[in-house]
């Protein structure tokens, strides 16, 4: 009792010493050089509204990550024993002193409790304020910045400060230095007026020993459909048995809408059993799902048609999240433009009924995301993994370059003011707590030349990757691309799947699309089927996949089809080569569902010995 009382008195003393005052000195919290490719146009309108997100320090986040690795490690006795929502929130809750100091700071600027929104873990505090007040609070100046290539505009600053007494209690404040544009990962869109012209080509079959029945229809070499993927990845004939419990979801941003009529046409043509099915829509942060045919999004249609077509009758959910940071503000525009990805994370981390598998086909260059923000978001993915959710991301469409699928127009320079030539990793694919999915093409499969892959400059290589990545680096001739990448960084992609010539329906017509936007919902579909098999047999969902994936690959199981041909050029180079085992183009390769199902339903130690 005496110890508890002493601790309470100490907290009171600390708070008293740190009480805010109007004259309290500020220190720079974060500062970046003017970002490449952006032009500072003019001061931001003083009355423009910004939603500031204040990230309080999470003193126990390292414990969260330790729990995640234990419940995801197939060698650990806790494997599959995922945490509850309450347990996760307890691990990311800030210290009460941090919360109190931030509240006092806000009160000193006449921001009342009614104006504050907090996440369930209390680690994010959100307030809506005019630019003029944000500038005063952060001792900064906001400007309108325009992206020279696209014309998109943002209200941002390149430096901000906090009172001295908050420096050890606040991790970051955004939007300030975040210049990410958050784009979809699709490279091409080809028009075809007749569906039969797409699908009825290349008669005959192709021998693929790992496929269902040992062969795949030859038409799949020019047009990929759900039946092609089920055959190629050895899942033909599998009937989901836990559709009442197992769920799959895809995310939509930037006014990408999933069209119901296109979904029905796709199913009628390519998944007849699902002809009368539909998907659920969850609206986040004012998101919409406009059903005007001309408003349909090729990205959203692709994601829903393949993730849900492959897994029917597993319930599918489309998250449509409002907010689009790029805009053209003027003095009369006071609308708040939130960061859509952060809003989605807030929503799902507050949910009590999460899908077991979620695919996202959006991202940006890692260097456009401040390190503080990237690490914060990455730990949010760790929360989802600890809850038993498998999170998959497209690895990107620029090879080792900056996301531009045309290597000739890529700009491969650092964004830190030095303009150093370098490979450009993508984010969130570079987060070690997500599964990044690269791309393949053709049958037999080779690496798609746009498949994003490489090494993070922010995140160190996790231990689950050590053996596989060391083996890959040993295959590179001495000095290969020296200085262009970080060989000690988190390496990606982790796996891959087909990513070219996918037939989708868009605006009531058949089209072919390509990109790792295709591979992520595809791989997610097979993960969902594995989750179905486990749940139907009374087992937990797979959750965070990477420790299991790397354990299987390192131990030489045949759960993946190794891709050994192709490369991912970019930045004026040929990029990395696909090779035996893990590589920085296709990861461990593409899934063999039949083998993986046998593994995840059996005694894992039998396969990992």
User: Among candidates 46, 48, 91, which has minimal Cα distance to 68?
Assistant: 91
Which is it for strands 183-184 and 362-365: parallel, antiparallel or unpaired? antiparallel
Structure tokens at 395: 């690895």
User: Among candidates 59, 50, 67, which has minimal Cα distance to 121?
Assistant: 59
CA angle 307, 407, 487 (to 5 degrees): 80
Catalytic, 361? Answer: no
Residue 184 labelled as part of a binding site: no
Structure tokens at 356: 């077991």
**Running DSSP on this structure, what letter comes out for residue 424?**
-
Beta bridge partners of 158: none
Q: What is the 3-state secondary structure (H, E, C) of 168-222?
A: CCEEEEECCCCCCCCEECCCEEEECCCHHHHHCCCCCEEECCCCHHHEEEHHHHC
- The b/e string for 198-221 (b: 16+ C-beta within 10 A; e otherwise) is bbeeeeebbebebbbeebbbebbb
CA angle 344, 347, 352 (to 5 degrees): 135
The C-alpha atoms of residue 248 and residue 316 are separated, in whole angstroms, by 5
The C-alpha atoms of residue 99 and residue 79 are separated, in whole angstroms, by 34
Q: Which of 30, 299, 365, 366 is catalytic?
A: 299
Which is it for strands 159-163 and 153-156: parallel, antiparallel or unpaired? unpaired
The secondary element (H helix, E strand) that includes residue 362 is strand 362-365
Catalytic, 299? Answer: yes
Residue 103 labelled as part of a binding site: no
Q: Which of 51, 231, 303, 494 is catalytic?
A: 303
Catalytic, 303? Answer: yes
Largest CA distance in the chain: 83
The C-alpha atoms of residue 446 and residue 562 are separated, in whole angstroms, by 9
Residue 438 labelled as part of a binding site: no
The C-alpha atoms of residue 365 and residue 351 are separated, in whole angstroms, by 29
Q: Which of 98, 212, 361, 517 is catalytic?
A: 517
Residues in Cβ contact with 107 at an 8 Å cutoff, skipping those fewer than 6 apart: none
Residue 562 labelled as part of a binding site: yes
Catalytic residue list: 299, 303, 517
Residue ranges at the known binding site for Ca(2+) = 562-563, 581, 583
């Amino acid at each position: 009792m005496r110890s508890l009382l002493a601790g309470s008195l100490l907290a009171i003393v600390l708070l008293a010493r740190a009480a805010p005052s109007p004259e309290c000195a500020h220190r720079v919290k974060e500062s970046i050089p003017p970002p490449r490719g952006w032009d500072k146009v003019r001061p931001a309108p003083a009355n423009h509204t910004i939603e500031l997100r204040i990230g309080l320090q999470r003193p126990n986040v390292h414990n969260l990550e330790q729990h995640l690795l234990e419940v995801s490690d197939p060698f650990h006795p806790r494997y599959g024993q995922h945490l509850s929502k309450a347990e996760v929130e307890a691990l990311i809750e800030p210290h009460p002193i941090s919360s109190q100091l931030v509240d006092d700071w806000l009160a000193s600027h006449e921001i009342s409790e009614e104006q504050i929104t907090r996440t369930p873990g209390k680690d994010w505090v959100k307030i809506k304020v005019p630019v003029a007040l944000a500038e005063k609070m952060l001792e900064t100046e906001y400007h309108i910045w325009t992206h020279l290539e696209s014309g998109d505009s943002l209200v941002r600053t390149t430096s901000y400060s906090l009172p001295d007494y908050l420096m050890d209690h606040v991790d970051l404040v955004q939007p300030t230095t975040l210049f990410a544009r958050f784009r979809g990962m699709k490279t091409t869109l080809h028009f075809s007026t007749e569906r039969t012209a797409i699908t009825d080509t290349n008669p005959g079959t192709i021998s693929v020993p790992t496929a269902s029945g040992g062969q795949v229809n030859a038409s799949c070499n020019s047009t990929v459909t759900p039946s092609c993927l089920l055959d190629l990845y050895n899942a033909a004939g599998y009937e989901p048995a836990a559709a009442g419990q197992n769920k799959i979801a895809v995310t939509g941003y930037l006014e990408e809408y999933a069209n119901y009529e296109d979904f029905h046409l796709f199913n009628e043509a390519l998944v007849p059993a699902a002809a009368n099915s539909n998907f659920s829509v969850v609206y986040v942060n004012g998101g919409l799902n406009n059903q005007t045919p001309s408003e349909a999004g090729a990205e959203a249609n692709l994601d829903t048609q393949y993730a849900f077509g492959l897994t029917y009758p597993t319930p599918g959910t489309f998250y449509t999240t409002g907010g689009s940071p790029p805009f053209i503000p003027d003095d009369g525009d006071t609308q708040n433009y939130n960061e859509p990805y952060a809003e989605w994370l807030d929503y799902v981390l507050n949910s009590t009924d999460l899908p077991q598998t979620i695919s996202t086909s959006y991202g940006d260059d890692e260097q456009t995301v401040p390190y503080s923000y990237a690490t914060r978001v990455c730990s949010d993915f760790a929360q989802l993994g600890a809850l038993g959710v498998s999170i998959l991301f497209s690895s990107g469409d620029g090879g080792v370059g900056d996301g531009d699928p045309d290597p000739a127009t890529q700009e491969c320079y650092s964004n830190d003011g030095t303009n150093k030539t370098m490979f450009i990793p993508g984010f969130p694919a570079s987060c070690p707590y997500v599964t990044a999915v690269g791309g393949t093409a053709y049958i037999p499969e080779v690496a798609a030349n746009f498949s994003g892959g490489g090494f993070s400059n922010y995140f160190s290589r996790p231990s689950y990757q050590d053996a596989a990545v060391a083996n890959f680096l040993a295959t590179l001739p001495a000095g290969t691309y020296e200085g262009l990448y970080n060989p000690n960084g988190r390496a990606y992609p982790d796996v891959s799947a087909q990513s070219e010539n996918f037939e989708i329906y868009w605006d009531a017509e058949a089209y072919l699309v390509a990109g790792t936007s295709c591979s992520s919902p595809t791989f997610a579909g097979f993960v969902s089927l594995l989750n179905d098999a486990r749940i139907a047999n009374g087992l937990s969902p797979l959750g965070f996949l990477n420790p299991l994936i790397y354990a299987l690959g390192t131990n030489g199981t045949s759960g993946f089809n190794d891709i050994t041909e192709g490369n991912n050029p970019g930045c004026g180079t040929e990029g990395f080569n696909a090779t035996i085992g893990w590589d920085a183009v296709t990861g461990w390769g593409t899934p063999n569902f039949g083998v993986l199902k046998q593994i995840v339903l059996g005694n894992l130690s039998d396969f990992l010995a």
